[in-house]
Amino acid sequence: MYIGIDIGGTTIKIGIVDEKGEIIYRDSTLTKVELGYEKVKDDLIDLINKAIKLSKSKGYDIKSIGIGVPGVTDPNSDYVVYATNLKWTNAPLGKDLKSTYDIPIYIDNDATVAGIAESVKGITKGYKNSVFLTLGTGVGSGIIINNKVYSGSHNKGSEIGHIIVGENFYDCNCGNNGCLETFASATAISKYTHKLINEGYNDEEFMDALKSNDNIIDTKLVFELAKKGNKLALKSVERMTDYLAIGLANIINLIDPDIIAIGGGVSKAGEYLIEKINKKIINYVIFKEGEITQISLSQLGNEAGIIGAALISEYK
């Protein structure tokens, strides 16, 4: 058995997970970000203690504890380098937990963890080489090669959201211009659609729908209207999928994975999104004939964090 923990900006979720990725116990608590790292750590330890106590009562042997965090981790130093949503900088989470428990502790970013989960019991199960992309506020990613997580020689790789795919009208939060996440994230779709409206792109149908959506331009609104053929929404979606196809083609040309799974809020556009990508990606891959990397929607949703975190040790 394994313990998996998904630390989010609002909730900490924990589970006891078996070798097949089945969650047999789960619990959660609010992430009290405003009270700082120490309070979040203490609440996390309380959850772990409850899970360990239950495990002992059931006769479970806990092989490891894995944690997924929404930020950059450094496995070599056991620190969370930064996690914006948690307001952490150089938080010694791994160090603190290793001094508390005589159980192997593993920490990785939430996108890598979700990629592991998909490999265990999701859409990428059965494939040796896979890439997971989460399209949300930004673009997160996890790479698995030969059934092991690949993060590079210095544990700083797999930042697919920050590959440069073109020149953009605004800079990325990382300071660079042209990062994939400034073209293909939910944030990017909203910003570009706002830009079109501010530049005078007049679309009565879109503006009426926007009023009904509390004047909030989100991915759901844009894709729903695009599916109906709305010109403004289509312009935004076509641009987004153009650049996403370029980014995915770069991945395929570089590492040729069996499959790329797409999750996150943007993926709720469903097969419509996948069809757009598949029509465009062939323009950018080098080898256009024979077998090509499969592009699919992820399957696990909210369970991925616990499952993937629990089984980090099996993918290291």
Q: Residue 1: its pLDDT value, please?
A: 96
Low-confidence ranges of the chain (pLDDT < 70): none
AA identity, residue 52? I
CB atoms within 10 A of CB 95: 13
Same domain, 149 and 293: yes
At 302 the pLDDT is 84
CATH code: domain of residue 74? 3.30.420.40
Residue 287 and residue 195 share a domain = yes
- Same structural domain, 92 and 164: no
On whether both 232 and 250 belong to a single domain, the answer is yes
Which residues are paired to 131 by β-bridges? Answer: 143, 260
Q: State the pLDDT at residue 197.
A: 96
**Residues of the chain above pLDDT 70, percent:** 100
- Each residue's pLDDT tens digit, 157-208: 889 999 999 999 999 988 999 999 999 999 999 999 999 999 999 899 999 9
* Predicted pLDDT of residue 80: 93
Residues 29 and 61 in one domain: yes
Instruction: Domain of residue 58: give its range.
Output: 2-120+303-315
189 Rama class: left (phi>0) / alpha (psi -120 to 50) / beta: alpha
- CB-based contacts of 204: which residues, under 8 Å, 6+ apart? none
pLDDT at 153: 87
Distance from C-alpha of 305 to C-alpha of 313, rounded to nearest angstrom: 14
3-class DSSP assignment, residue 180:
coil
On whether the CB atoms of residues 57 and 65 are closer than 8 A, the answer is: no
DSSP 175: S
Enter the pTM of the model.
0.91
137 lies in the same domain as 77: no
Alpha carbon distance 115, 250 (integer Å): 19
143 and 90 both lie in a single domain: no
CB 20 within 8 A of CB 312: no
The verdict on 169 and 293 lying in the same domain is: yes
> Per the structure, how many domains does the chain have?
2
pLDDT one-digit tens code per residue, 48-75: 999 999 999 999 999 999 999 988 888 7
Do both 278 and 265 map to the same domain? yes
Same domain, 18 and 165: no
Closest residue by Cα to residue 169 from 232, 273, 122, 239: 239
Same domain, 183 and 265: yes
Please report the pLDDT score of residue 155 as a whole number.
80
pLDDT value of residue 233: 97
Say if residue 112 is in the same domain as residue 236. no
Closest by alpha carbon to 94, among 78, 112, 110, 81? 78
Q: Are 266 and 136 in contact (CB under 8 A)?
A: yes
